Amino acid sequence: MNIIEQFINHPDMSLMEYELLVEQAGNPEAVKRLQEEALRIRRQYYGDKVYIRGLIEFTNYCKNNCYYCGIRRDNKSLQRYRLTKEQIMECCQNGYDLGFRTFVFQGGEDPWFTEDRMVSLVRSVHEAWPDCAITLSVGELPKETYRALKKAGADRYLLRHETADKSHYESLHPEGMSFSNRMQCLQNLRALGYQVGAGFMVGSPGQNKFHLAKELYFLSHFKPDMVGIGPFIPHHKTRYKEEPAGAVSMTLFLLSVIRILLPKVLLPATTALGTIDPYGREKGLLAGANVIMPNLSPEKYRKNYALYDNKICMGEEAAKCIRCLEKRVASVGAQIVVDRGDVCK
C-alpha cells in the first residue's frame, strides 16, 4: 500500500513515515486524494459550516524579539498602540451585531496588560456577551495567570508552538525564549481545561521536510483542538526580509493532512494564506479548513499590527469584510454561520 493510503487508513504514523508523507506534497495525485478525503471528513463532522472568529488585535507592544515577527521589540520603526477596554468592548459589540459569537483577543506580550487588567477585560466581555466564546492569544504566561483567565471566562487559547524541533525553535528565537517553556504552556492550558490551539508557520526559515514530519508527529500526539498554520511571510524590518515566503501548495497539502490526522479539529484558513494568494482562504476551505478569522480591530490601528508584509484586509471596515467573506465562502459551497463554533463532540 502506498504511503497516502496508509496514512488515510491509519493516520498515526512514525516520524519516518510522516517524512515519506511530506515528500508527497509535490505529487498532484497524492494531493488530490488527500484533499478529497479531507473534505469528506470535514463535511462529515461540520457539514458545510464555516465558523468565524472576530479577531481583535488589542496591542502591538511586545517584550519578545522573535526573529521573524514584524512586531518584535527591536522594530523601532513601528508605531505602537494599545486599545482601551472601551475600544475593545466596542469592537466586540460591532462584531456581535455582525453575527460573531467568538472573540479572539490577540496581542504581543505586553506587560501593561497585567493579570488583573486581563482578568477584568475577560470578565467584562464574558458578562456582556455570555453567549460568546472568548479566545486568548497573548503568548506565554504563568500557569496561575492562565488559571485566573479561565476562571474569568476565557474558553480557548491559541499558542502556536511555531516549530516542534528544539534547535529549529532556537534558530527562530533569541536566547531567553525557550522551546520547553512554550511546550509546557500548551500542556498547562490543556490541563486547565482550555480548548487549545497549537500551530506553526509553513516555510519558516530553515524548515525542512524532517521538521514538517516532526510537526505532524507532535500534532498526532498532542491532539490540539485547533491548529493554526499559515505560510511564513517575510517582514521588511526583520533579519529574514530576503527569505522566500512559504508555499501555498505546501500549506494546502498540510491542511488536508491535518484534517485527516485530527478529524474534528478547528482549522482556520488563515489571513497569511489569503495574503500570499488572492484565493488562498477559499483554497484553504477546499483543502479541509473550517474556520476564518476576520479582523474586528479598529481600521486605523490595523496597519500597525504588521506581523508580516502586505497583510490583507487592512482598510476594510468589519461589516464590509464579512460581506466579502460571505461571498468567498459561498463560492466554495460553504456557509458562514452564527455560532460559537466549539469543537464538535
List residues near ligand SAH by CB under 6 A.
68-69, 106, 108-109, 137-139, 159-160, 162, 201, 230, 232-233, 235, 272, 307-308
Q: Minimal distance in Å, beta carbon 74 to ligand SAH? A: 14
**Between residues 95 and 108, which has the closer beta carbon with respect to ligand SAH?**
108
**Between residues 206 and 263, which has the closer beta carbon with respect to ligand SAH?**
206
Q: Minimal distance in Å, beta carbon 73 to ligand SAH? A: 11
Q: Minimal distance in Å, beta carbon 110 to ligand SAH? A: 9
Report how far residue 303's alpha carbon sits from residue 70's, in angstroms, rounded to the nearest whole number.
11
**Between residues 153 and 230, which has the closer beta carbon with respect to ligand SAH?**
230
**Between residues 39 and 185, which has the closer beta carbon with respect to ligand SAH?**
185
Nearest to 57 by CA among 2, 108, 129, 132: 108
Q: Minimal distance in Å, beta carbon 42 to ligand SAH? A: 23
> Phi first, then psi: what are they for 109, rounded to 5°?
-85, 95
**Between residues 90 and 140, which has the closer beta carbon with respect to ligand SAH?**
140
Q: Minimal distance in Å, beta carbon 204 to ligand SAH? A: 8
Contact 312, 271 (CB under 8 A): yes
Residue 9 burial (CB count, 10 A): 8
Q: What angle do CA 189, 82, 109 make, to 5 degrees?
A: 35
Q: Minimal distance in Å, beta carbon 23 to ligand SAH? A: 24
Contacts of 299 (CB under 8 A, 6+ apart): 314, 315, 316, 317
State the virtual CA torsion across 293, 190, 110, 52 in degrees, nearest 10: 10
**Between residues 33 and 283, which has the closer beta carbon with respect to ligand SAH?**
283
> Phi first, then psi: what are they for 320, rounded to 5°?
-65, -45
**Between residues 13 and 202, which has the closer beta carbon with respect to ligand SAH?**
202
Report how far residue 282's alpha carbon sits from residue 155's, in angstroms, rounded to the nearest whole number.
27
What radius of gyration do the chain's Cα atoms show? 19
Q: Minimal distance in Å, beta carbon 189 to ligand SAH? A: 11
Q: Minimal distance in Å, beta carbon 92 to ligand SAH? A: 19
Contacts of 50 (CB under 8 A, 6+ apart): 285, 290, 291, 292, 329, 334, 335, 336, 337
Residue type, 185: C
286 three-class SS: helix
Q: What angle do CA 218, 223, 226 make, to 5 degrees?
A: 110
**Between residues 139 and 288, which has the closer beta carbon with respect to ligand SAH?**
139
Q: Minimal distance in Å, beta carbon 137 to ligand SAH? A: 5
Which residue's Cβ has the minimum distance to ligand SAH? 139
Contact 163, 172 (CB under 8 A): yes
**Between residues 51 and 232, which has the closer beta carbon with respect to ligand SAH?**
232
